[in-house]
Amino acid sequence: MAKSPPLPGLRLPKRHFNALDLSRLLAACAVLFWHYQHFFVPPVDYQFHVNRPKVSPLYPELWWLFDYGHVAVQYFWAVSGFVFAHVYLADAGARGRFWLARVARLWPLHLLTLVLVAVLQAAYSGVNGTEFIYHHQDLKHFLLSLGLAHYWGWQADQSFNGPSWSLSTEILAYAAFWLLLPGLRKSPTVLALTAAVMALALFFLKAPDGPVFTCIGYFFGGAAVYGAALKGGLRAGVLAALAGLLTGAALWLGLHWHWGDAATLLGTFAALLAVLAIDTADRNDKLAAARHLGDASYGVYLWHFPLQLALVLLIDGMLGSRGIARQPAFLLFFVGLSVLAGFASHRWFERPAQKLVLKLAGKGRAGRTAPA
């Protein structure tokens, strides 16, 4: 069945945002640097503080990534909101296809890495008597993870493939987007901005389940940026100027007021606007080579912890010391291996699995609608 033409006025003429795709891969790599400290956590059953400046290779040159790479998660959420607005606002049949598309894209790799981490954690625990980094490896947290509900407020803490906590919160942002989609089509900027402000206000007011509200806030903030772009108010020069202003405000809040959460908020959207300025200025698609780089970001993000756990098991078993992780060459090896895993996963697992899920769902619908 042919898709209906896009709803008028709800999709930007630029089909691909190449710099945005590249930024997704770079953001995934930033998280790797934050989690690199895991290599230096000994077998303990409590939270262990790592002296990152002392043990991280190339720390003087890459200190920001080692200390603040985790804020890339907020950037992912904002980018997701922008991309979802670009894909779904103008799609008249989006609500009917939405959840199947999300499950087909996200769940197969999540399931694979969840099971793999469970196996690797069992091996690590068998040797060391405790789990590696994430200590809630029980049936409850496995079942929550299985349904991508493992960070909705029922959890004790992160578990199994720990980085997937942000994916769990994003599922709730997807649900809010799906519910609000009819209204977003009528007033994309105002409604998305209202949802973002309300969610972030709950976070800043220390409401329970703060990560969920943070995710929803950043997600709808990204959707609001897209809504503003639809109105023609965001040109390359305007975007660059706004990015500069937000960057200055973020530095002021962070350095002078030590208000990290607010600085992260402004800095995240400064980065998003700066990247969009590059895309807006790239009218001739000179950055087209970056178009598919973002495809690996999901795989990089979900594969890096099981790879890290597998490497720790090998290092502990073969060398007895993790001193090798202090070497710059090992840092490059870990990042490179994770990136290669991301590209390989997208090509040989994620895409085939996505097609299989959609095919099976299509057969199921055909069976239900076939005449008796």
- Long-range contact set of residues 94-97: C-beta below 8 Å, sequence gap at least 24: 94/181, 95/178, 95/181
Q: Smallest Cα–Cα separation from 148: which of 175, 125, 130?
A: 175
What is the distance between the alpha carbons of residues 286 and 288, in angstroms, rounded to a whole number? 6
According to the model, what pLDDT value does residue 1 have? 45
Q: Which positions of the chain have pLDDT values less than 70?
A: 1-3, 233, 364-372
Query: Given phi > 0 = left and psi -120 to 50 = alpha, else beta, which region is 235?
Result: beta
Structure tokens at 209: 């389940």
Structure tokens at 76: 């992912």
Residues 166-187: pLDDT tens digits? 999 999 999 999 999 999 999 9
According to the model, what pLDDT value does residue 13 have? 87
Q: Are 149 and 59 in contact (CB under 8 A)?
A: no
According to the model, what pLDDT value does residue 372 have? 40
What is the distance between the alpha carbons of residues 78 and 81, in angstroms, rounded to a whole number? 5
**Domain range summary for the chain, segments of one domain joined by +:** 18-233+292-364
According to the model, what pLDDT value does residue 233 have? 66
Whole-prediction pTM value?
0.95
Query: Given phi > 0 = left and psi -120 to 50 = alpha, else beta, which region is 271?
Result: alpha
Amino acid at 76: F
3-state secondary structure the chain: CCCCCCCCCCCCCCCCCHHHHHHHHHHHHHHHHHHHHHHHCCCCCCCCCCCHHHHCCCHHHHHHHHHHHHHHHHHHHHHHHHHHHHHHCCCCCHHHHHHHHHHHHHHHHHHHHHHHHHHHHHHHHHHHCCCCCCCCCCHHHHHHHHCCCCCCCCCCCCCCCHHHHHHHHHHHHHHHHHHHHHHHHHCHHHHHHHHHHHHHHHHHCCCCCHHHHHHHHHHHHHHHHHHHHHCCCCCHHHHHHHHHHHHHHHHHHHHHCCCHHHHHHHHHHHHHHHHHHHHHHCCCCCCHHHCCHHHHHHHHHHHHHHHHHHHHHHHHHHCCCCHHHHCHHHHHHHHHHHHHHHHHHHHHHHHHHHHHHHHHHHHHHHHHHCCC
What is the distance between the alpha carbons of residues 265 and 130, in angstroms, rounded to a whole number? 36
Residues 314-351: pLDDT tens digits? 999 999 899 999 999 999 999 999 999 999 999 999 99
Q: Are 192 and 81 in contact (CB under 8 A)?
A: yes
According to the model, what pLDDT value does residue 3 have? 66
Amino acid at 14: K
